Structure 1
Amino acid sequence: MAIMGVAAKCEFPAIFNFGDSNSDTGGLSASFNEVSPPHGETFFSKPMGRMCDGRLLIDFIAESLGLPYLTAYLDSLGDGFQHGANFATAGSTIRPQNVTLFDGGVSPFSLNIQMSQFNQFKSRSDALYFKENAVKGNVPAPEDFSKAFYTFDIGQNDLGAGFRATSDDQVRASIPNILAGLSQAIQFLYGQGARTFWIHNTGPIGCLPISVIYYPLKPQNIDKYGCVYTQNDVAQEYNRQLKVMVYQLRNQLPLAALTYVDVYSAKFYLITHANEQGFVDPLKFCCGFGKDGYNAWCGTSTYVNGSTVYDVCDKASMYVSWDGTHYSEAANRWIANDIFNGQLSEPPLPLIQACQRSP
């Protein structure tokens, strides 16, 4: 699909991001246990709150827009919030889950909580901005909220939690309810003055190494690429309904520029053409150990036949998956290059022109 006419680059003074571990830049670390080494080793040379060896898609978005990396809203020792805030937290879902503490599965910071946090952030920022100059430089100007870039990368954990607890058909049936929560959040932000939205669909969850390792029906329902195709089918149905939802919101929110971003296609192409793109087997992962019933997640160790196993690969840039669940920095960079030009977006506008409204 051809990119729509040439237009000036959008000037976004800030980014506000909502999501899960795919875009968490420190929310989990600030709230519960700090992310441990070797996370962050490739780019930051130390853990930086990210479930990755380096940068995430949200980091590449910030770079492309000429803005600093986002500080997690929950991180009181961050670098300031003048250019936005990140409300994403690892394990977050759109629908509230029955949890009180992060347990390695889902997070208490569901999307409705992230909306509440944004509301408080905006209210307090407006008050602080006019209070004293020393504080003014740490928060966005009041007018920046309507000019900012609002990004969403959430929903994968809603499907994942459903796969763990119910059947594929039940997860499929829950999609309208999940998306109702996302639609409500976007409408809430629009009411707060937000105008530019960049909405990622969900990736091929059935191709995550962790999905394959714990899938109980192997080799049944495994496709020729080694992915759980039944889970990918549900993810694709979620994305189809998400795209319809975005179209509906365009009619309801006439001043909004809403971009639906087909991250699924970018990730699935990378996974199914990994060798051609210079990566190793996409079902292998760099950090952690998962084989023959033994598992040591990234940053931990386990005993196998009397020996301690703490496995980290020598070259993370060769892997699509960093830890079996999250993508490596190299994969994130590849995906960013594939989606930022707009060819996988609807409307087909590049990232730097996302403020344009669909005709």
Structure 2
Amino acid sequence: MGSNRTQFGLINGIICVLLMTPNLGLSVALSSTININRQYENECDFPAIFNFGDSNSDTGGLSAVYGQAPPPYGKTFFGAPAGRYCDGRLIIDFLGGVFRELLPKEDYFTRALYTFDIGQNDLTAGYKLNMTSEQVKAYIPDVLHQFSKVVKGVYGQGGRSFWIHNTGPLGCLPYMLDRFNLTAVQIDQSGCAIPLNEVSRYYNSLLKEVVVQLRMDLPLAAITYVDIYSLKYTLITQAKKYGFDKPLVACCGIGGRYNYNNTMRCGSTEMVGGKDILIAKSCNNPSARVNWDGIHYTEAANKWLFDQITRNSLYLDPPISLEMACHKSK
């Protein structure tokens, strides 16, 4: 598995990852989706997945452009860095199942599943420029207008099946919590930043409106909207219930309340006695942690999120299983 590779390209500033999937290998969704699926005769036969997203779903694009992420990235599954900003696999890896090193055939572009997992970088970009939350909210419509143009562009090239994740709770990420001096009234009972999560929810509300409009504008498209925000917030706020610990503390890092230091991120080294020593190390058990490096989720968290997506249609609109995502809702 560690030798598998993905084809990738940088399109309109978004990492595009191609996963060749001769067999998705996905478990059948539970009863909540069975009745909905019965209205369709056949499961979808996706020969490939084209993913558009940021580093939460990038399987090699950033590493190819800027250089490989250092150890201990990749340690849990691959045993070494493997192009992912995680200790192992991402949600897109679980969606893709078994990969093959093939170039896509021409008809794959029409038959493929197009997944989108974006938003986090769009929001944090404004905060890095010292914008207020209101200023960040003000540019979100422009961001989503560009997103809509990308989807329509893919549709114009023959894409028909779209799987769109909303963005997660920004205020529950260590690198954002570490950045701001928040007052007690700005922190919820789980330790997340209320103002930042409000911005995430605002982004998602506008994204949902864009998806509704896209369904009207693209009559042949099957578009599934996935509520990743609710799933991630549930995992973070009920971590112990699901077997996780310290959801707001990075597994890999060094120092501070959240084990995150922006100047010495996961994998950072220091010269000691003439030797390059790893100082921003992994925790002992990444499988029991939600956050990997202060920015991204662990493989264990990604697997939990994937399991919820495929087992519970409450987080999907329309409430249809992944295997049926090529069908428009009736």
CA, structure 1 residues 216+14, in 2 after alignment: closer, same or farther (shift >3 Å)?
Answer: same
Counterpart amino acid of residue 32 in structure 1: Y
Shift of 1:215: 1.3
Which position in structure 1 is the counterpart of 2:105?
141
**Structure 1 portions without partners, runs of 5+:** 69-78, 83-138
Which position in structure 2 is the counterpart of 1:317?
287
**Are 2:204 and 1:242 aligned?**
no
CA contact (8 A) 2:250 2:260 kept: no
> What's the CA shift string for 1:108-150, capped at 9, x where partnerless?
xxxxxxxxxxxxxxxxxxxxxxxxxxxxxxx211111100010
Any idea what SS the aligned residue of 1:343 has?
Answer: helix
Distance 1:29 1:156 in 2: 19
Distance 1:220 1:259 in 2: 36
**Are 2:225 and 1:254 aligned?**
no
Quick one: which of 230, 233, 239 aligns to 1:268? 233
Distance 1:152 1:308 in 2: 34
**Are 2:70 and 1:36 aligned?**
yes
Any idea what SS the aligned residue of 1:290 has?
Answer: coil
Distance 2:83 2:124 in 1: 22
Distance 1:173 1:279 in 2: 36
Which position in structure 2 is the counterpart of 1:343?
314
CA contact (8 A) 2:175 2:260 kept: no
Q: What stretches of structure 1 move > 6 A for 4+ residues in a row? A: none
Distance 1:351 1:308 in 2: 41
Distance 1:294 1:16 in 2: 32
Instruction: Indicate the RMSD between aligned Cα atoms, in angstroms.
Output: 2.0
Quick one: which of 230, 242, 245 aligns to 1:277? 242
Shift of 1:164: 2.5
Which position in structure 1 is the counterpart of 2:301?
331
Shift of 1:294: 7.8
Identity of aligned residues (%): 49
Shift of 1:2: 4.8
Counterpart amino acid of residue 335 in structure 1: L
Which position in structure 1 is the counterpart of 2:120?
156
Any idea what SS the aligned residue of 1:194 has?
Answer: coil
Q: How does 1:1-359 map to 2 (within 5 A)?
A: 2-3=32-33, 4-6=36-38, 7=40, 8-63=42-97, 67-68=98-99, 80=101, 82=102, 139-165=103-129, 166-291=131-256, 295=261, 296-301=264-269, 309-341=279-311, 342-359=313-330
CA contact (8 A) 2:268 2:278 kept: no
CA, structure 1 residues 351+271, in 2 after alignment: closer, same or farther (shift >3 Å)?
Answer: same
CA, structure 1 residues 302+230, in 2 after alignment: closer, same or farther (shift >3 Å)?
Answer: farther
CA contact (8 A) 1:148 1:194 kept: yes
Distance 1:9 1:59 in 2: 20
CA, structure 1 residues 310+5, in 2 after alignment: closer, same or farther (shift >3 Å)?
Answer: closer
Shift of 1:40: 0.5
Counterpart amino acid of residue 230 in structure 1: P
Distance 2:211 2:137 in 1: 19
* Alignment: residue pair count: 286
| Stretch moving more, 41-50 or 308-317 | 308-317
CA contact (8 A) 1:198 1:260 kept: yes
Shift of 1:219: 3.5
Distance 1:282 1:349 in 2: 30
CA contact (8 A) 1:145 1:193 kept: yes
CA contact (8 A) 1:201 1:262 kept: yes
CA, structure 1 residues 233+248, in 2 after alignment: closer, same or farther (shift >3 Å)?
Answer: same
CA contact (8 A) 1:213 1:290 kept: no
Distance 1:302 1:157 in 2: 28
Distance 1:294 1:60 in 2: 27
Distance 1:14 1:308 in 2: 38
CA contact (8 A) 2:72 2:281 kept: no
CA, structure 1 residues 294+321, in 2 after alignment: closer, same or farther (shift >3 Å)?
Answer: closer
